[in-house]
Amino acid sequence: MVGRRCYAVVVGVALTVLLAGCVGPTVTDAGYRNKVGDTARQISSSIASARLAVQLDLDGRMAFALTDQTVSDAESDADSAATALASRQPPTDSALKLYQRASRPIQDAVDALRALRIAVRRGDSAAIRAALAGLDAPQHGMDDLRTAASGG
Amino acid sequence: MSRLFKMALGVMTAIGGFVDIGNLVTSGITGARFGMALTWAIVLGTMGMTLYGEMAGRVAAVARRPVFHIVRERLGVRTGMANLAAFLLLSGLMLAAELGGVALVLQLVTGVNYLVWVPVAAAVTWLIVWRVSFSVMENLFGLLGLCLVVFVVALFVLPTDWGALWHGATHPWVPPDQGHPMYFFYAVSLFGACLTPFQVVFFSSGGREEHWTTKSLPEMRLNALVGFPLGGLLSIAIMAAAVVVLKPAGVDVSHLGQVALPVAQALGPVGLALALVGFMAAVMAAAAECALSMGYAVAQYLGWGWGKDRLPRDAPRFHLVCLVAVLGATALVLTSVDPVTVTVLSVVLGAAALPLTYFPVLVVANDGDYMGSHVNGRTLNALASVFLVIMVVTSIVTVPLLFFTKAGR
Amino acid sequence: MKADSELSADEMLLDRQILDVDGAAIGKIDDLELTEPEDGGAPVLTAFLCGPTALGPRIGGRLGLWWAAIGRRLRPTDEAYPNRIPIGEVDCVDRAQVRLTVSRDALDADRFRDWTRDHIIGRIPGAG
């Protein structure tokens, strides 16, 4: 019976740790800033990934399926990151301000990736180049956001 | 002449057989995030695999029994059962990762969603287990897996700063933008990807399938001592390619396709095709080996007949286990859980169970009754013990790291 | 029966692989049957026990009970006694394995195997 109780305690502790890990970070202001920073990092990486794939494709070094896959993945990853951030409740006033500052650039990034995906699937070279150029501003936006979130 | 050819073949298959979805994914992720700083984890893992793989192969050749067969005898029914249960759980997860990997490669090639390919991957894997002869399986996949050498070629074509790569590898400091927990989590994942449990079971059971004897020791040693390290080198090449192309671009790897982008940049569509063929062969081979290992383990623990060198109806329970394993893993993948996540999770959990997997190998290789004069020498035991300590340390820190980093987010 | 002159059950017998006269794997020695002779004196080894009903109790715990239950389920009668291989059928014993004098067909140890072959594996095309 001691064994059973030990087991229950261990499971209880493990669950607490696990749940704390899931819930904890965004309850504080610093946690929320981290989350915004992480989201910006993820979206920035998605943009970079899509950009690399499309650039290689324009240089004739890719197979269409991989380009399409990479861009689609980038779009859906960015979208998921944006949704995950939006679903978190900003805990403080400054967190809310940060979110208001972040939401536009994030949405722009997701839109830009979507436009790129559409252009790639349609095979429209001019649209692809335009969409590629359209990634620049959102990329800078994400960089600014990362700086702001880390306390700049 | 044919003996030389056979040896070369063995080495080549060991190279191609060492790399699986775990190595592909973790090498790509860590290269893009940490540069070459985690090269030491691959080196360490490869050394461990070479050491223990040689032991397992020696047991198969000298004692004419694969390791798992003897585990129950030497460690007792209960310990053996714990070992078996852990092995089946881990390998089941790993099998799911490999099947997901095959489906992902097919998605990369065809553009059709990977979930459609999962049953195809499962069916082909099972067919290989069911009817394809052992030597055909080994040779075909081993050679096709060598296509991964395209990553090494890519490094020479790209504007690679070899000095910087070497500097990064020899100065394994944690990059400023990554935390220590994340660094060590991924170190564990690389280590675990080199020391996957099913590899040992497969290497020693495979040795029995190929009827190794004491005379086969040089051949076996060549496979282990040359093949595994060269496989490790391939993993490092994949990591380095990510460092040269993905890291400067700021790309974080979270999908299998991204790992192949450096090859596309270097060698264009042809290189890309070779990389994908290499991915496919390595992962498909690993899936079949993993399923077979689960069958081997159960059959060897319970004393059933086993082996691919006989008709399925002569080893029905062994084939039943393999079939159930493939079906179970397929069900897991079809829940549309992210295959990359399953891969990282499976290598990390494998790392948590390393002592349980490898300690029996050490025990059996030291057993005078079975090994006779080929028992472990003192230096070998010292080295193996050092690695065992590393494995114990790894297994202790793994689960906390897993929770702390939320599986590497 | 030829054997080393003195064996410790744990070291030499338990968990050893049993091979029939043709070298086919039958199973492992999951347990030993010892019979007390009528005239008193030390118990005598009369048979090897093989199969899930013999192994279950040695695994112990709930898993062991479950394993033994599977073994019982696979029998036509509900007899709980495990498959026995009488000592008379044993040819030789060494540290690695046990060799029998009879072929597996003469034993009754293959019910699970036959069932699997007939109902599942044998039905799949290519089983041979």
Please state the ipTM of this predicted complex. Answer: 0.88
Give me the pLDDT at residue B16, please: 64
User: Nearest CA to CA, how far is C42 from chain B (Å)?
Assistant: 26
Which residue would you say has higher pLDDT here, C109 or A38? A38
Q: Where are the alpha helices (DSSP H) in C2-126?
A: 52-59, 61-73, 111-119
User: Nearest CA to CA, how far is C6 from chain B (Å)?
Assistant: 16
Give me the pLDDT at residue B266, please: 95
On whether the CB atoms of residues C115 and C75 are closer than 8 A, the answer is no
Q: What is the pLDDT of residues B340-385, one digit of tens each?
A: 999 999 999 999 988 888 898 898 889 888 888 888 889 999 999 9
Which residue would you say has higher pLDDT here, B185 or B67? B185
pLDDT of A120 > 90? The answer is yes
pLDDT of B194 > 80? The answer is yes
Q: Which residues of A touch B267 (CB under 8 A)?
A: 61
pLDDT of B332 > 90? The answer is yes
What distance in Å separates the CA atoms of residue C81 and residue C90, rounded to the nearest whole number?
Answer: 20
A36-53 average pLDDT score: 94
B11-39 average pLDDT score: 88
Q: Which residues of B touch C26 (CB under 8 A)?
A: 303
* Range in A2-11, B105-114, B371-380, C86-95 with the lowest mean pLDDT: A2-11
Q: Using CB atoms, which residue from C16, C24, C95 is nearest to B305? A: C24
CA distances from B370 to A27, A151, B63, B272, C70 (A): 60, 65, 5, 48, 33
Q: Using CB atoms, which residue from A21, A42, A61 is nearest to B269? A: A61
Give me the pLDDT at residue C1, please: 46
Range ranked top by mean pLDDT from A9-18, B9-18, B135-144, B351-360:
B351-360
Give me the pLDDT at residue A16, please: 60
Q: What's the Rg (C-alpha) of chain B?
A: 20
pLDDT of B224 > 80? The answer is yes
pLDDT of C31 > 90? The answer is no
- Round the average pLDDT of chain B to a whole number and report it: 90
Q: Is B176 on the interface with A (CB under 8 A)?
A: no
* Range in A79-93, B264-278, B339-353, C73-87 with the lowest mean pLDDT: C73-87
Give me the pLDDT at residue B108, please: 93
Give me the pLDDT at residue C44, please: 81
Q: Which residues of B touch A18 (CB under 8 A)?
A: 403
A46-57 average pLDDT score: 95
* Range in A93-97, B303-307, C8-12 with the lowest mean pLDDT: C8-12
User: Nearest CA to CA, how far is A59 from chain B (Å)?
Assistant: 9
Q: Which residues of A touch B250 (CB under 8 A)?
A: 44-45, 48
Which residue would you say has higher pLDDT here, B154 or B316? B154
- Interface probe with C: pick from B74, B205, B313, B323, most Cβ of C within 10 Å: B313
Q: Using CB atoms, which residue from C18, C63, C122 is nearest to B303? A: C18
B313/C26 CB distance under 8 A: no
DSSP codes, A134-148:
TTHHHHHHHHHHHHH
B112-128 average pLDDT score: 94
Q: Is B372 on the interface with C (CB under 8 A)?
A: no
Q: Which residues of B112-150 are buried (b: 16+ CB within 10 A; e: fewer)?
A: eebeebbeebbebbbebbbebeeeebbbbbbebbbbbbb
CB pairs under 8 A between B and C: 67
In 10 A of CB A7, how many CB atoms?
10
Q: Which residues of A touch B261 (CB under 8 A)?
A: 52-53, 56, 66, 70
What distance in Å separates the CA atoms of residue B211 and residue B220, rounded to the nearest whole number?
Answer: 11
Packing angle between helix A93-122 and helix A64-86, nearest 10 degrees? 160
Give me the pLDDT at residue C7, please: 63
Packing angle between helix B197-209 and helix B77-110, nearest 10 degrees? 100
Place of tokens 């306390």: A151
pLDDT of B1 > 60? The answer is no
Query: C19 φ, ψ to 5°?
Result: -115, 145
Are C and A touching by the rule of 3+ CB pairs within 8 Å? no
Which residue would you say has higher pLDDT here, B6 or B301? B301
Are B and C touching by the rule of 3+ CB pairs within 8 Å? yes
Q: Which residues of B touch C96 (CB under 8 A)?
A: 63, 65, 369-370
Q: Which residues lie across from C99 on neighbouring strands?
A: C19, C92
Neighbors of chain A by Cβ distance (3+ pairs < 8 Å): B
Residue C25 pLDDT grade (very low, low, confident, very high; cuts 50, 70, 90): confident
A49/B251 CB distance under 8 A: yes
B120-124 average pLDDT score: 95
Neighbors of chain C by Cβ distance (3+ pairs < 8 Å): B
Q: Using CB atoms, which residue from B252, B404, B406 is nearest to A45? A: B252
pLDDT of C99 > 60? The answer is yes
Reduce the DSSP state of residue B251 to 3 states and report it: coil
User: Nearest CA to CA, how far is B287 from chain A (Å)?
Assistant: 23
What distance in Å separates the CA atoms of residue A18 and residue B400, rounded to the nearest whole number?
Answer: 10
Give me the pLDDT at residue A23, please: 47
What distance in Å separates the CA atoms of residue B24 and residue B29, rounded to the nearest whole number?
Answer: 9
pLDDT of A72 > 80? The answer is yes
What distance in Å separates the CA atoms of residue C13 and residue C93, rounded to the nearest whole number?
Answer: 8
Query: B234 φ, ψ to 5°?
Result: -60, -45
Residue B79 sits at the vertex; the CA angle it makes with B76 and B85, to the nearest 5 degrees, is 130
In three-state form (DSSP H/G/I as H, E/B as E, the rest C), the secondary structure along A40-85 is HHHHHHHHHHHHHHHHHHHCCCCCHHHHHHHHHHHHHHHHHHHHHH
Nearest CA in chain B to C95: B369
A21/B272 CB distance under 8 A: no
On whether the CB atoms of residues B361 and B388 are closer than 8 A, the answer is no
Residue A5 pLDDT grade (very low, low, confident, very high; cuts 50, 70, 90): low
Reduce the DSSP state of residue C36 to 3 states and report it: coil
Query: C33 φ, ψ to 5°?
Result: -105, 120
The CATH code of the domain at C9-123 is: 2.30.30.240
In 10 A of CB B277, how many CB atoms?
18
Q: Which residues of B touch C50 (CB under 8 A)?
A: 303
Give me the pLDDT at residue B182, please: 92
Give me the pLDDT at residue C11, please: 66
Q: Which residues of A touch B260 (CB under 8 A)?
A: 66
Q: Using CB atoms, which residue from A38, A52, A61 is nearest to B268? A: A61
Q: Is B108 on the interface with A (CB under 8 A)?
A: yes
DSSP codes, B208-243:
HHTT--GGGHHHHHHIIIIIHHHHHHHHHHHHHHII
pLDDT of C64 > 70? The answer is yes
Closest to B103 in 3D by CA, of B89, B91, B113, B95: B113
Residue B21 pLDDT grade (very low, low, confident, very high; cuts 50, 70, 90): very high
pLDDT of C2 > 70? The answer is no
- Interface probe with C: pick from B73, B132, B322, B367, most Cβ of C within 10 Å: B73
What distance in Å separates the CA atoms of residue B120 and residue B99, rounded to the nearest whole number?
Answer: 9
What distance in Å separates the CA atoms of residue A52 and residue A62, rounded to the nearest whole number?
Answer: 11
Q: Which residues of A touch B257 (CB under 8 A)?
A: 66, 69-70, 73
Residue A22 pLDDT grade (very low, low, confident, very high; cuts 50, 70, 90): low
Q: Is B313 on the interface with C (CB under 8 A)?
A: yes
CA distances from A32 to B178, B304, B327, B402 (A): 18, 57, 42, 21
Q: Which residues of B touch A17 (CB under 8 A)?
A: 403
A110-133 average pLDDT score: 93
Residue C62 pLDDT grade (very low, low, confident, very high; cuts 50, 70, 90): confident
Which residue would you say has higher pLDDT here, B145 or C111? B145
Domain ranges of chain C: 9-123
B250/A45 CB distance under 8 A: yes
What distance in Å separates the CA atoms of residue A18 and residue A69, rounded to the nearest whole number?
Answer: 33
Q: Is B320 on the interface with C (CB under 8 A)?
A: yes
B188: left (phi over 0), alpha (psi -120 to 50) or beta: alpha
What distance in Å separates the CA atoms of residue B258 and residue B251, rounded to the nearest whole number?
Answer: 9
What distance in Å separates the CA atoms of residue B287 and residue B202, rounded to the nearest whole number?
Answer: 11
Residue A11 pLDDT grade (very low, low, confident, very high; cuts 50, 70, 90): low
Nearest CA in chain B to C58: B77
Q: Output helix, strand, coil percentages for chain A, rounded to the nearest 5.
A: 85, 0, 15
Closest to B285 in 3D by CA, of B398, B155, B198: B198
Percent of chain B with pLDDT over 90: 59
What distance in Å separates the CA atoms of residue B318 and residue B20, rounded to the nearest whole number?
Answer: 24
What distance in Å separates the CA atoms of residue B331 and residue B123, rounded to the nearest whole number?
Answer: 13
Give me the pLDDT at residue C57, please: 85
Longest dimension (CA), chain C: 58
Reduce the DSSP state of residue B284 to 3 states and report it: helix
Q: What is the pLDDT of residues A132-150, one digit of tens each?
A: 999 999 999 999 988 888 8
Strands (E), chain C: 2-3, 17-19, 25-28, 31-35, 44-50, 83-86, 90-93, 97-100
On whether the CB atoms of residues A50 and B258 are closer than 8 A, the answer is no
Reduce the DSSP state of residue C47 to 3 states and report it: strand
What distance in Å separates the CA atoms of residue A125 and residue A132, rounded to the nearest whole number?
Answer: 10
Residue A24 pLDDT grade (very low, low, confident, very high; cuts 50, 70, 90): very low
